[in-house]
Structure 1
Amino acid sequence: MTTPSNSSARRDLQPSSVLGPVGERVPDVARIAVLRANALGDLIFLLPALEALRAAYPEAEIVLLGAPWHAQLFRDRPGPVDRVLVVPPAPGIRDPGPDEPPSAMDDFLAAARKEGFDLALQLHGGGGNSNPIIAGLGARVTAGLRAEDAPPLDRWIRYVYYQHEVIRYLEAVALVGAPATTITPALAVTDADRVEAREVLGEPTRPRVALHPGATDTRRRWPPERFAEVARALAGDGYEVLVTGTPAEQETVDAVVAAAGVPVRPQVGTLSLGGLAACYAGCALVVSNDTGPLHLAGAVGTPTVGVYWVGNLINGATPLRVRHRPIASWTTRCPVCGIDCTPGIYPHRPGDGDCPHRDSFVADVPVIEVLEAARELLTPPPPTPPSPVP
């Protein structure tokens, strides 16, 4: 059932976008706050919405309320983010980083109110924890997502878990008159990124491919021995194979390298996020679990093969197929206890909260399917025949 507030918001929308209704643009906007303070893949999904805001409000400053790594990534990087304000760690917002000094949310909001935000957008989940932060910024207009138990905003749409993340945020920014300009996330690679990647990796002597076998949630990890089979096959095809990972994924990367049985190049913690973007931009293909680096590779224009659990396929896999191949596991029950986990594979999602197991939900994805997709993307298309002379 639609609440009266949401009904009012819908009446204000005009059907003028390819993705649906668009609300009235807010006049005299000089500064926009956007709350999105979580992981890398979450940021990549947000980029088209930020581009829509930039197109709708070209003179406004767009300020991302994010984490320290957001500030580092967007420093001197062209794109829709002008500045990052680091939001303090808080439940449902973000976890504290290593050696990060404590900071009170009340102090942050008091300082942020002095910024004079005209628009504040909540693009950080259902809003139970995040909508009060948006309200505390003191902006003239608030907008964004709202789950059933979350406080309202001036303009909002219902948060429903099973929706593609890119479309979710594009619908939210449309509330403030920012229609979609693209559905394809794109992140600029800078000269500094390329210099860093070249210093770490050297100049390629043959085409490179990268494998990323990690993921924060171990249920999204394809087994290392499967990645090793792909590494072995692609090395046999003549490619230089990189295996990327974070320091927390060292053991997983080591397992892939050991099982591959052929020379591959592990890259664990050797590159900054910008350097990793340049690394992927220089690859012919990236094969990865459904995790941030997979979406980063797509955002810098590199073809990808992604291994997905079916629920995450709905929310995160690109619908484009010229350069991308998502391979899905259709497992819906925990491989250990058999509990139905279809509402989501995250601990806070209804339906799997009683399951303590973190065994892979994607182990059944066949190597041959991933390898066929990889080779298809690595095979150049036939040349276009010349047009006949009239």
Structure 2
Amino acid sequence: MPPISYAGASEAPADAATDRFDIARHRFPDIHRIAVLRAGGLGDFLFALPALHALREAYPECEITVLGTPMHEALMRGRPGPPNRVIPVPPSDGVRPGLVNAGETDAFFARMRDCGFDLAVQLHGGGRNSNPFVQRLGARHTIGTRTPDAAPLDRTTPYLYYQNEFVRGLEVAALAGAAPSRYGCEPVLARVPGASGIEVLTKAGIAIGDGPLVVVHPGATDPRRRWPADRFARVAAELAAEGPVVVVVGDEGERMLCDAVVESASRRPSSASRVASVAGLLDLGELAAVLGDADVVIANDSGPRHLAHALGTATVAVYWIGNLINAGPLTRARHRVHLGWTARCPVCGADCTGMNPAAARCEHDESFVADVPWRDVYDSARQLLATAPPPATPPT
């Protein structure tokens, strides 16, 4: 049981020392509507899935609403939850980037208070901005993470940056008496009924046949997390020469990067016709279908890698060591990671560990993972293609 800070002494359990592992005894009564704030990127939403499943099992009759982004809403369209629904939040300082409109913000909170949430869950960082946001929802109970300088909620657990996000979310869910669900501590996302990644690729002119499908995503929001494109190309070419079809994915902004991977891989004649890019051609639902039908996904620490993981696909990922702590898979049967151990900027030597909160990020974008050998990634992909056990049955 995580350490709990209670706003009121009367709420504290009478025998917390002996019952600290009895998570269920902290369950709130008469909970019918739960709001969960998680308004970050694609990966941020996926990191919250273990907590959402835990809340669903603890409160099986509840409606669970994620206060997120239009991307999260698009991802869940037609997909079995949790959550039951996603409501995009308006731009808000420290919660969602964008131009803040006070009238729009006030109207949003008025609508949320009308929803009559019984429990509001803050899964959106240390709470300096997100805890006041959650307080404005008008829920009867509030829980979440908290830095020492953040506003209090009814129940909180300390926010310390270096912690796996799946486990962080589960610590917060435990504040409401929700233990890890039957799906465990890693993300599980249901597939949209009838969605076929093979059909998506066929419509894009890519014939898969009977061989394995390997999907490569060479992008990442932070350039420092990107493994060099020529390494992805080498792995793609070597695998394609052995029979799999390799499809490179990315959004419109990553099209040139993906084209560079395909161009470099095509220089090996035996693999030229078996490596193709669909970058910029797929919407989020189509991307999810393709990732879900892949035999292996090879990627950086990125949203598509996390999405493939949640859909039950085996992954090989290149991580900077600091990001592995927060965003890496917990298991290795279906997920392999290769680490860049860079602790200082390769250009200016600035400390990049984050251990000094006062240190500003330097202006350089050199890769922190360039030292990861291509052969290590290739070998992991081949091993998973040969031996990866089947995924668990997704929720319905």
Kindly state the Cα deviation for residue 104 of structure 1 after the two structures are TM-superposed. Answer: 2.5
- 1:93-112 to structure 2, matched below 5 A, reads 93-96=95-98, 104-112=104-112
1:165/1:6 Cα in 2 relative to 1: closer, same or farther (>3 Å)? Answer: farther
* 1:204 matches 2:215: no
User: What SS class does the counterpart of residue 305 from structure 1 fall into?
Assistant: strand
* 1:326 matches 2:333: no
Q: Answer whether contact 1:340 1:351 (CA < 8 A) is retained.
A: no
Kindly state the Cα deviation for residue 31 of structure 1 after the two structures are TM-superposed. Answer: 0.5
1:352/1:291 Cα in 2 relative to 1: closer, same or farther (>3 Å)? Answer: farther
Deviations 1:351-371 (A, max 9, x none): 641511111111111111111
Q: Answer whether contact 2:8 2:154 (CA < 8 A) is retained.
A: no
Q: Unmatched 5+ residue regions in structure 1?
A: 383-390
Q: Answer whether contact 1:189 1:274 (CA < 8 A) is retained.
A: no
Q: What amino acid does structure 2 have at the position aligned with 1:254?
A: D
Deviations 1:52-78 (A, max 9, x none): 010011111001101112222212210
Deviates more, 1:42-51 or 1:198-207: 198-207
Q: Residue 387 of structure 1 corresponds to which residue in structure 2?
A: none
* 1:218 matches 2:223: yes
What is the distance in 1 between the residues matched to 2:178 and 2:294?
34
Q: Residue 57 of structure 1 corresponds to which residue in structure 2?
A: 59
Kindly state the Cα deviation for residue 319 of structure 1 after the two structures are TM-superposed. Answer: 1.8
Kindly state the Cα deviation for residue 91 of structure 1 after the two structures are TM-superposed. Answer: 2.1
Q: Answer whether contact 1:23 1:174 (CA < 8 A) is retained.
A: no
* 1:88 matches 2:93: no
Q: Residue 388 of structure 1 corresponds to which residue in structure 2?
A: none
Kindly state the Cα deviation for residue 184 of structure 1 after the two structures are TM-superposed. Answer: 2.2
Q: Residue 132 of structure 1 corresponds to which residue in structure 2?
A: 132
Kindly state the Cα deviation for residue 96 of structure 1 after the two structures are TM-superposed. Answer: 3.9
Deviates more, 1:242-251 or 1:271-280: 271-280
Q: Residue 77 of structure 2 corresponds to which residue in structure 1?
A: 75
1:135/1:324 Cα in 2 relative to 1: closer, same or farther (>3 Å)? Answer: same
Q: Answer whether contact 1:22 1:175 (CA < 8 A) is retained.
A: no
Kindly state the Cα deviation for residue 269 of structure 1 after the two structures are TM-superposed. Answer: 2.2
Q: Answer whether contact 1:23 1:175 (CA < 8 A) is retained.
A: no
- 1:12-31 to structure 2, matched below 5 A, reads 14-16=19-21, 21=23, 24-31=26-33
What is the distance in 2 between the residues matched to 1:364 and 1:379?
26
Kindly state the Cα deviation for residue 46 of structure 1 after the two structures are TM-superposed. Answer: 0.7
Q: Unmatched 5+ residue regions in structure 2?
A: 390-396
Kindly state the Cα deviation for residue 16 of structure 1 after the two structures are TM-superposed. Answer: 3.6
Aligned residue pairs total: 372
Deviates more, 1:100-109 or 1:218-227: 100-109
* TM-score normalised to structure 2 length: 0.88
Q: What amino acid does structure 1 have at the position aligned with 2:172?
A: A
Kindly state the Cα deviation for residue 132 of structure 1 after the two structures are TM-superposed. Answer: 0.6
1:198/1:83 Cα in 2 relative to 1: closer, same or farther (>3 Å)? Answer: farther
1:6/1:221 Cα in 2 relative to 1: closer, same or farther (>3 Å)? Answer: farther
Deviations 1:166-221 (A, max 9, x none): 00000001101111111121111113532545534655212210110000100000
Kindly state the Cα deviation for residue 10 of structure 1 after the two structures are TM-superposed. Answer: 7.1
User: What SS class does the counterpart of residue 328 from structure 1 fall into?
Assistant: strand
Q: 1:350 aligns with which of 343, 354, 357?
A: 357
Q: Residue 42 of structure 1 corresponds to which residue in structure 2?
A: 44
Q: What amino acid does structure 1 have at the position aligned with 2:315?
A: T
- 1:366-377 to structure 2, matched below 5 A, reads 366-377=373-384
Q: Answer whether contact 1:305 1:326 (CA < 8 A) is retained.
A: yes
Q: Residue 265 of structure 1 corresponds to which residue in structure 2?
A: 276
User: What SS class does the counterpart of residue 157 from structure 1 fall into?
Assistant: strand
* TM-score normalised to structure 1 length: 0.89
What is the distance in 2 between the residues matched to 1:82 and 1:201?
35
User: What SS class does the counterpart of residue 171 from structure 2 fall into?
Assistant: helix
Q: Answer whether contact 2:4 2:175 (CA < 8 A) is retained.
A: no
Deviations 1:26-45 (A, max 9, x none): 11111000000111111111
Identity of aligned residues (%): 49
Kindly state the Cα deviation for residue 112 of structure 1 after the two structures are TM-superposed. Answer: 0.7
What is the distance in 1 between the residues matched to 2:236 and 2:5?
56
Kindly state the Cα deviation for residue 245 of structure 1 after the two structures are TM-superposed. Answer: 0.5
Q: Answer whether contact 2:5 2:155 (CA < 8 A) is retained.
A: no
RMSD: 2.4
What is the distance in 2 between the residues matched to 1:269 and 1:68?
18
What is the distance in 2 between the residues matched to 1:6 and 1:336?
47
